[in-house]
A and B are shown apart, each in its own frame.
Chain A
Amino acid sequence: MLSKIEFKVNGRNTVFSGNPLTRLIDVLREDLGLTGVKEGCGEGECGACSVIKDGKLVTSCIIPVGAVNGSEIYTIEGIRDTEKGKCLVESFAEGGAVQCGFCIPGMVMAAYALLSENPHPTDEEIRKGISGNICRCTGYDLIVASIRLAADKGGDLWA
C-alpha cells in the first residue's frame, strides 16, 4: 500500500505525503504555486482547472492526489514556453480569444490536448474538444478561430 504519492509535475518529481483525498488542484495551486490552474466550479463542470495527466485532459479539481501516483502532470506553466504552448498563446492573443481570461489557461490546455491528438480539426471537432471548458465572455467563436489559427500556424508542430 502506498504511504506517499510520487508523481511528476511539469517534468519535476514531486512527493506528497498528506491526505490522499487532497484535490490535485490544491496541491498544484497551493503547494506548488501553479496558480495558472484556475478553480471555476470545483466539480469538474467548467474546465478552468484542466491539466494534462499522462497525455489526457482532466479536471484537477475532482482528482484526488492519491490517484496520480506515477503520473505525469502538465499544467499551463509546463507548456507555455514550449513551441506548441507558445503557438497557442500567440494564436489566442492574436485571434481575440481572451477576454476576462479566467477560463483561458484551461482552454489552452484543452486546445493543446486536442491538437496533439488531431492536428487538423474541423470547427466542429474544435467545438467538441473545448465543450467541457465553459467561457462566459466570448460566445466561443473567437476561441474556435484562434485554435484554428494555432493549427494552421503550428503546421508540423502538431503532426
Chain B
Amino acid sequence: MPVTGIDDRIVRTDAAAKARGEAKYACDLSFPDMLYAYMVRSSIPRGTIDSVKVPTLPDGYYFISAEDIPPEGKNELWMIQKDWRCFAEGDVRYVGETIGLLVGPDRNMLKYLLDHLEIKYTEGVPAVTIDDAIACKGGPIVGEDNIHCQLYVEKGKPMSEVFAEADSIFEETIETGFQEHVHLETNAAIVTEEDGHYVFYVSAQCPFYVRKSVAGLLGLNPEDIIVRQTTTGGAFGGKEHFPDVLCGPLLVAEHRIHKPIKLIFDREEDMLYSVKRHPSKVTYKTALDKDGNILGIEGLVYYNCGAYLSSSYVVLQRGVFHANGVYDFPNTYVKGIGVATNTFPSDAFRGFGAPQTLFAIETHLDHIARKFGFDPAEYKSRYFIKQGGETITNGHIVERVMLPEMMKQVVDASDYFRKAKEYGTGSGKGIGISFYNHGGAFTGNGEQAIIKAHARLVKTGGRVRIEVGSTEMGQGFQTALRKIAAATLGISIDQIDYDNPDTSKVCDSGPTAASRSTMIVGRLVQRCGEEMKERWDEGDFSVEKEYEHPEGHPWDQSTFRGDAYLGYGWGCAVVEVEADRLTNEIKVTGIWSSHDIGHAIDELIVHGQINGGIAQSIGYAAMEKMENRNGHFRQSSMSDYVIPTSMEFPEQKWFLVENPYQWGPFGAKGMGELVFNGADAAYIDAVERALGITVRRIPMPPEDIEEALADAQ
C-alpha cells in the first residue's frame, strides 16, 4: 500500500458508506424489546407547576420524572455548571423544559398518553428579550439582576480619558438574532444496558461530556457509564452539550425500566425545543479624531443566555475576546454581560460567541468608514493587528498575520476596488468586505488546566488504531486524523483504523468543539505517531500522550489577561450582491474568501468546510429568522425557518495562505468555526452599499430591508 502524504488528495473514509445509505445513525438503530420515549415538556415560559395528571398507564408504560431520581442522585446535568435541571421540579423556566418522559412500546399509545397528560400551571410573566432581562421583567430569574455571567477586558488608557480627547464619538447598537443549527439529523439517543453497564448510543459531539453530565443523576461515576457515538448527521455546536438533555432523562428511565429506550426528536421538536445561537446586542462607542482615526473603542456586549447557564459564560468570554475584530486599536474597554431570560437556553453554535461581536465590529467600522468617506477595506486595513501586537486581553499575537496578503487575494480576484467605486451607493449593486479571525482551541490555558487531553495509538501487526474521544460529525475529522497518523508513521491511510468513539475504549481527548481537534488532538496523535515510528519494529504496542502546553503564553483566568488563544485562524471575505428594486430580494452574485488556517491537512475537506461555513453565515445574515414571542419560538419547521438551498448562492471562489503553525500537526490550525465568522458582515456591507441603507441588525430578509429603506428616506 502506498504511503499517504499529508498533501495527497484522498477520498474521505466515510464518504462511500454514507452515500450508499449504509452508515448507521442513531435513528437507524433498534434493539430487541426496545421501547420509545417522548418528552413531556413545559408549555409555558415561566411559572409554577401546580399539578401533573398522568392518565392511567397501561402495562409496560411509564412516566418518568424527577421523582424517579434515586436518593443518591441529584436532579442536575453537569455541563460547565450544574444549574440545568434534568427534570423541571416545582417550577418551569422556559417553553420546552423537560418535565418528564413517557416510555413504552407503542408510539401511538405514547402519543395518546402525551395528548391526555394534563399539567396545570400558575403562569408568571416571562422575560424574553435582552431588554426584558435588563428590566427584570417578571422579577429576576437568576440572582437579583438577571445576570448569569459577566466580565470585562481593558487595554490602554481609561476610556474616560480617551473620550475627553476625542473630536467626535460615534455610538451605535447592533443586534443579531437566534440561529437554529438545523443539522439534518435531529437529536437522537438510545439507552440500554450491556454487561451491567448503562450504555448510550447517541448522536453527539462529545461522548465524554455526556457521561460526566448524567452520571450524578444516579450517584454514579462517569466511568460507570458507556457512551458510544453514532454516526452524527451534523452538529455545529448543537450536539455539544444538548445531548445531555436527552440522555439525562433516559438514564433515569433506564434505571427504572431496564430495557433499551429510544428517544428521537422529530424536526418540529428539534426546532422548537433545542438550543440556539445566543441573540446579541452590542453597543460600540468609538472615540475619533477629526480625520476619522480611531482613538479608542468602548463596547458593551449583551448575550441572551436563556434560562440556564450551560456554556454561556465561555461563549460570552469568546464574544468579548473577539469584540475588537482583527484590529489593534490603541485603547479598548469591553464589558460582556450574559443575561437570563425565559427562553430555551442558548448554547454552542459554530463560532461560539465570536460571530456576534465580529459582525458588530465589522459593521460598526463600515459605518465609521462611510461617515468619513473612506473605503471600508482601506480604512479597516490601517488597523490590522500584526505579529507581536497587543490583543484586547493584553496578550500578544504569536503568529505572523497575513491579512494584507489575504486581502490582496480577494480584492484582486473580485475586482473589489473597481466595483466598489463603480457601483457607488444605492445603485442596486453592491460589493462588501469583511475581516475576521477565530482563536483556536480552549481559551487561555484551558487545554492544560481543564481538558488535559490524551490520545493513543495502538499497533497490531501492520495496522494502527487511533483511540481518541474526538468525533466525526461531518467536518471530516476521521479522515484528517487518519491522514495525520499515516503521514507521521509513513504508512498508508488504509492501515489506520479510527472508529466512532466508545468512552470505555478510548482516551478522553476533550470535546470535539472550539476548532481544537486538528490543532490539539491532531498534534497529540502526531506525537504518538512519531514515537511509534521510532519503535515500529518492537511488535504490537501502544503509545499514549498527554497534552503539553507550549511555553511562554501567560494567561490569568481570573482577570482574563494574557494570551487568550495560542493561535488564530484568519479570514477575509468579499460578497457581491444585486438587489431587486421591486421586491428587495437580494441575489448574491459573487463570493470570494481567503483563509489562514496554518496548513491545510486536506484541501478537499477544507474546501467543503469553507463553502458550508460561508453559506451558513450568509444564511444567518440574510434569511434565517427565528423569532420568539412571549417565550415561544414562532418558526417550527424547515418551511418557515429557511436555510440556504442550492439555488441561493453562486459557486464560491476561495483561497488559502500558507502560514504553518508551530504547534499544530504539519502546521495546521483550527478552521471549522473560522469559516463561519465573517461572510455575514461582508454580505450586509454589500447590501448596505447596494441600497444605500444602514443595517444594525440581522437577519435582514426583504421585509426588514423595506423598513430600512423607509428609515433611509
Contact = CB atoms under 8 A, between A and B. Distances in A.
CB atoms of A and B under 8 A apart anywhere in the complex? yes
Interface in B476-493: 476
B201 to A, nearest CB: 14
Contacts of B638: 40-41, 43, 45-46, 134
A2 B185 CA distance: 36
A104 to B, nearest CB: 5
A127 interface: yes
A101 B11 contact: no
A68 interface: no
A14 interface: no
A80 B612 CA distance: 26
A3 B473 CA distance: 44
Interface residues of A, number: 54
Given A137-B608, A138-B612, A142-B608, A40 B646 contact: no
A37 B608 contact: no
Among B613, B616, B643, B645, residue most surrounded by chain A Cβ atoms (within 10 Å): B645
B474 A130 contact: no
Prevailing SS type, chain B contact patch: loop
Contacts of B605: 96
A98 B12 contact: yes
A136 B616 contact: yes
Among B231, B266, B473, B474, residue most surrounded by chain A Cβ atoms (within 10 Å): B474
Given A40-B267, A96-B604, A142 B19 contact: no
Contacts of A42: 266-268
A100 B234 contact: yes
A66 interface: no
Given A45-B637, A48-B184, A100-B474, A139 B19 contact: no
Interface string A90-110: 101110111111111100100
Among B12, B19, B25, B182, residue most surrounded by chain A Cβ atoms (within 10 Å): B19
Contacts of B232: 100
Nearest to B474: A100
A17 to B, nearest CB: 17
A49 B608 CA distance: 23
Interface stretch (B336-344, B497-505, B647-655): B647-655
A132 B639 CA distance: 11
Prevailing SS type, chain A contact patch: loop
Nearest to B21: A36
B184 A134 contact: yes
A139 B649 CA distance: 8
A104 B27 CA distance: 16
Contacts of A151: none
B184 A35 contact: no
Given A136-B184, A138-B608, A93 B11 contact: yes
B295 to A, nearest CB: 39
Contacts of A140: 611, 615, 644-646, 649
Interface string B139-169: 0000000000000000000000000000000
Interface string B214-240: 000000000000000001111110000
Interface in A23-47: 29, 34-43, 45-46
A139 B652 contact: yes
B22 interface: yes
B24 interface: yes
A98 to B, nearest CB: 4
A142 B612 CA distance: 10
A103 to B, nearest CB: 5
A88 interface: yes
Among A36, A76, A123, A131, residue most surrounded by chain B Cβ atoms (within 10 Å): A36
B267 A101 contact: no
B25 A136 contact: no
B14 A101 contact: yes
A57 interface: no
B475 interface: yes
Contacts of A46: 184, 267, 638
Given A101-B14, A131-B647, A136-B184, A88 B267 contact: no
B607 A130 contact: no
Contacts of B22: 36
Interface string B622-646: 0000000000000001110001111
A133 interface: yes
6 contacts: A39-B266, A76-B20, A90-B16, A96-B605, A101-B474, A135-B184
Interface of A: 29, 34-43, 45-46, 48, 75-77, 80, 88-90, 92-94, 96-105, 108, 123, 126-128, 130-144
- 10 smallest beta-carbon distances between A and B, as pairs: A36-B21, A100-B474, A101-B18, A102-B233, A139-B611, A139-B615, A93-B15, A76-B21, A99-B474, A102-B184
